């Protein structure tokens, strides 16, 4: 928030100013005072993660204050600025709750992140300077909700938010790689949902590949802090497209991209475990489908490395643990 808003509690209160302002109808002074105190109280807590109800109350208090204060009241500028920043702060709380979910695995934290993100978008008008970031943040959070629920309506919501965010993001923006890559992954989610329903995923997979190739090219051009992310996302989509079409060329490229994603991710990076796991899963599938023993032996090594690099206190996900156990059994056969 701005310094003016942060200093609201030490400045002359909006209620005090309103009491002396010409044009404030008799009987509304007390309402203004109550609204001001509640808005100021909630504003002081915006460094925390407020619940959706409290956030709604804060937004409503600001809106009501702007409705009842006379147009020449000097406190309107402060409340107006706080209202402009409302969507951005709500989105920041959403991302904080999402990050806590990533650390704890708590579904409640993810549900809170989604609820706050939706409120942020609802509060961000077309001319809100925070709107593009708020839309991108909601798309980021909804990716985890898609993985949790497989809900096609959530997938469509995420794609819609990210389509608008990408369209509003300049081609030279430092945020473009991440936003384009997130949109590509949501299209991949929709493609897998369509395949599960017996529908044609081709259009989504084709567009996702184009988006991810663009993200990788921009990341590799320099300046992007984590090129392994776009590389790994491209690999996932290439693998899905290769299997859907029976295209060995795409599948082989996917393997190279999985390898590159791991190579681009230094030890200790929070995503290295996931990228190793993706590579190990790919290699294990290559063995199961084609009997490639070299892929099998490498799958064992890679999955063991993924297990060693798990964040402290976390166990290997059951699907990977089963793959590692099966791969080790196969590797022992003569």
Mean of per-residue pLDDT scores for the chain: 87
- With vertex at residue 162, the alpha carbon angle to CA 181 and CA 222, rounded to the nearest 5 degrees, is 30
pLDDT at 14: 44
% of the chain at pLDDT higher than 90:
60
Closest C-alpha to 91, from 109, 111, 107, 115: 115
CA 11/CA 9 separation, integer angstroms: 6
- Residue 6, pLDDT > 50, answer no
Q: Which two tokens stand for residue 47?
A: 């460094």
Q: Which two tokens stand for residue 229?
A: 């992310």
289 three-state secondary structure: helix
Closest C-alpha to 92, from 39, 123, 48, 60: 48
User: Are the C-beta atoms of 179 and 133 separated by less than 8 Å?
Assistant: no
pLDDT at 24: 47
pLDDT digits (tens, 9 = 90+) for 280-299: 999 999 999 999 999 999 99
% of the chain at pLDDT higher than 70:
90
User: Are the C-beta atoms of 11 and 75 separated by less than 8 Å?
Assistant: no
pLDDT digits (tens, 9 = 90+) for 96-129: 999 999 888 899 999 999 999 999 999 898 888 8
pLDDT band at 5 (very low <50, low <70, confident <90, very high): very low
Closest C-alpha to 240, from 291, 278, 275: 278
DSSP at 21: S
255 or 322, which is more confident? Answer: 255
The domain ranges of the chain are 1-84, 91-168, 171-264, 268-334
Task: Spell out the residues 6+ positions from residue 231 whose beta carbon is closer than 8 angstroms to its own.
Answer: 216, 219, 257, 260, 261, 264
Rg (CA), the chain: 25
User: Are the C-beta atoms of 87 and 130 separated by less than 8 Å?
Assistant: yes
268 or 210, which is more confident? Answer: 210
pLDDT band at 21 (very low <50, low <70, confident <90, very high): very low
Q: Which two tokens stand for residue 288?
A: 């199961």
User: Are the C-beta atoms of 90 and 96 separated by less than 8 Å?
Assistant: no
């Amino acid at each position: 928030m701005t310094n003016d808003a942060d200093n609201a509690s030490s400045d002359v209160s909006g209620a005090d100013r309103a009491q002396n302002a010409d044009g404030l109808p008799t009987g509304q002074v007390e309402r203004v005072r109550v609204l001001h105190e509640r808005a100021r109280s909630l504003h002081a807590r915006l460094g925390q993660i407020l619940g959706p109800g409290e956030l709604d109350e804060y937004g409503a208090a600001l809106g009501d204050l702007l409705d009842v204060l006379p147009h020449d009241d000097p406190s309107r500028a402060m409340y107006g600025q706080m209202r402009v920043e409302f969507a951005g702060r709500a989105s920041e709380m959403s991302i904080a709750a999402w990050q806590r979910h990533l650390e704890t695995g708590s579904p409640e934290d993810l549900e809170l992140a989604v609820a706050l993100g939706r409120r942020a978008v609802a509060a961000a008008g077309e001319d809100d300077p925070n709107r593009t970031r708020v839309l991108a943040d909601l798309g980021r959070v909804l990716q985890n909700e898609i993985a949790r629920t497989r809900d096609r309506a959530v997938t469509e919501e995420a794609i819609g938010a990210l389509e608008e965010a990408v369209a509003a993001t300049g081609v030279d923006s430092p945020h473009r790689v991440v936003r384009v890559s997130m949109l590509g992954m949501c299209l991949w989610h929709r493609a897998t949902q369509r395949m599960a329903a017996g529908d044609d995923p081709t259009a989504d997979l084709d567009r996702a590949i184009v988006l991810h190739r663009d993200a990788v090219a921009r990341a590799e051009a320099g300046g992007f802090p984590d090129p392994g992310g776009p590389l790994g996302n491209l690999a996932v989509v290439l693998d899905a497209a290769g299997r859907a079409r029976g295209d060995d060329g795409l599948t082989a490229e996917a393997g190279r991209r999985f390898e590159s994603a791991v190579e681009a991710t230094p030890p200790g990076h929070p995503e290295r475990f996931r990228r190793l796991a993706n590579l190990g899963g790919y290699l294990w599938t290559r063995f199961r489908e084609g009997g490639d023993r070299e892929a099998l032996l490498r799958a064992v090594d890679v999955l063991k490395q993924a297990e060693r690099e798990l964040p402290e206190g976390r166990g290997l996900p059951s699907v990977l643990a089963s793959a590692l156990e099966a791969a080790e059994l196969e590797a022992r056969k003569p």
